[in-house]
Structure 1
Amino acid sequence: MTIELEYSSSMNGASYLLFELKQVVILKQQGISIEEIRSKVINENLFQFENKGRIKRTFPSVMKRAHVIDSELAIHMVEGSIEMSKVINLYAIMKTDLLFFEFMNEVISEKLHNNDYLIEKKDVNLFFEAKLEQSEKISSWSASNIEKLKRAFMQVLFESGFLKSRQSKELRHIIIDDQIKEHLNRIGDVRYVRAMGE
């Protein structure tokens, strides 16, 4: 399913959220409506957040991601390995966040394809500088918002397994299960597989 995406800085409040996405995918598989899922998440604190405000802030991003995970990917996410879940989560983030997809496609994938396993601050800064010039929307964001986004992007890289450690600048390939790869190719989402460095 295709969503027309605009640039958004929503990742600032909702970067990785793998555990939370899994909870929602499980409920969706049971045929529970979005409204019921929302009230379950809030009333039963399914995300296990201490702050109810944070649930309300992150819920729209989690739902958006759950929406792009089809029934086959949902099964892999719920029943497959943690590695499978991470890849599907990364796919859902890229599919619902245009700026992050472009970052993966233009920076990370390029580096991995060129056997350049170092992601430096300047790489991230150059990417954002180019986007600031290309997009009025991004150029309207505050400097602090952009700094937070840079950190959120690096956090997703780390949690997805692309960085060896939280402070590391060293990149590595992640393993994408063949079933997921074939499925994404079949549904016409090969560009997301490429953006993951395949």
Structure 2
Amino acid sequence: MKLREYSAGTVKQSFWFSEFRKVIHLLGQGMTLTDIKALNKEQNIFAAPTQERATQIMNTIAIRAASLDASIYPLFEQSDVSTQKLIALVAIMQTDRLFFEFVYEVVREKMIVGSHELADSDIRIFFKEKQLQSDKVATWTEYTLKRLGRCYKTMLMAAGLTDRAPGSREILKPILDPELESWLRKHGMDLMIHALTGVR
């Protein structure tokens, strides 16, 4: 995967699954991202509360969709909802380096050692380590890191990788659809398989 700069932009974002699904469907119908952006501007296809929010959602979803090869569209359309959510999660990890590293270094490691609990302390330790490794992350405030941690928990829960419990959450190891696993391998995304299934 292409290494992007660390970003805290996720605090303004959401999992936006239904929006992602709509965009993938329209792309599969032959529309371009430019077409869909124009359609969103005209019709507010995500029913966002403001034009500004509609544009922000569209721009974020466009970046996520563009991170995946177009051959994912038919696979996405024929998959069940749990697999579609994993594809949406892969798109987020493709476009958010820090979130990918969180899933790979924290969630994956927990699955490997057989621990099923994701605690707030795990998130705090992860960010403290990143602050030591990155001058950019080191400048982020405690408030930003807390918001980011909450966003990460929400993303994982929305994707089906954790339960909804307050505080510590149970990690729910997903069963990867063989066709999705094959697609990921074919596109050089083995690290995504490792991150999602907890393998070395």
User: TM-score normalized by structure 1?
Assistant: 0.92
Q: Does 1:150 align with 2:164?
A: no
Measured against aligned partners, the alpha-carbon deviations of 1:49-85 in whole angstroms (never above 9, x if no partner) come to 2222212222222111100222332112223210111
Alignment of 1:37-186 (within 5 A): 37-167=36-166, 169-186=169-186
**1:121, distance to aligned residue in structure 2 (A):** 0.9
**1:89, distance to aligned residue in structure 2 (A):** 0.5
Hey, what does 1:28 align to over in structure 2? 27
In 1, the alpha carbon distance for the partners of 2:164 and 2:3 equals 34
Question: Structure 1 86/7 Cα, relative in aligned 2: closer, same or farther at 3 Å?
Answer: same
Contact 1:108 1:197 in 2 (8 A): no
| 1:32 alignment partner, SS class | coil
Contact 2:175 2:197 in 1 (8 A): no
Gaps (5+ residues) in structure 1?
none
In 2, the alpha carbon distance for the partners of 1:10 and 1:28 equals 25
Range 130-139 or range 73-82, more displaced = 73-82
Count of matched residue pairs:
197
In 2, the alpha carbon distance for the partners of 1:160 and 1:130 equals 25
1:172 maps to a residue whose letter is L
Give percent identity, aligned residues only: 26
Gaps (5+ residues) in structure 2?
none
In 1, the alpha carbon distance for the partners of 2:188 and 2:62 equals 22
Measured against aligned partners, the alpha-carbon deviations of 1:116-152 in whole angstroms (never above 9, x if no partner) come to 0011111000000111111111122232222111110
Hey, what does 1:12 align to over in structure 2? 11
In 2, the alpha carbon distance for the partners of 1:84 and 1:26 equals 15
Contact 1:18 1:89 in 2 (8 A): yes
**1:19, distance to aligned residue in structure 2 (A):** 0.9
Measured against aligned partners, the alpha-carbon deviations of 1:82-112 in whole angstroms (never above 9, x if no partner) come to 0111110111111111000000000000000
In 2, the alpha carbon distance for the partners of 1:45 and 1:101 equals 30
In 1, the alpha carbon distance for the partners of 2:42 and 2:78 equals 26
Range 76-85 or range 109-118, more displaced = 76-85
1:123 maps to a residue whose letter is D
Hey, what does 2:189 align to over in structure 1? 189
In 1, the alpha carbon distance for the partners of 2:33 and 2:179 equals 28
**1:31, distance to aligned residue in structure 2 (A):** 3.0
**1:36, distance to aligned residue in structure 2 (A):** 2.1
In 1, the alpha carbon distance for the partners of 2:182 and 2:7 equals 29
In 2, the alpha carbon distance for the partners of 1:144 and 1:43 equals 36
Measured against aligned partners, the alpha-carbon deviations of 1:5-41 in whole angstroms (never above 9, x if no partner) come to 1111121122211111111112222332333211212
User: TM-score normalized by structure 2?
Assistant: 0.92
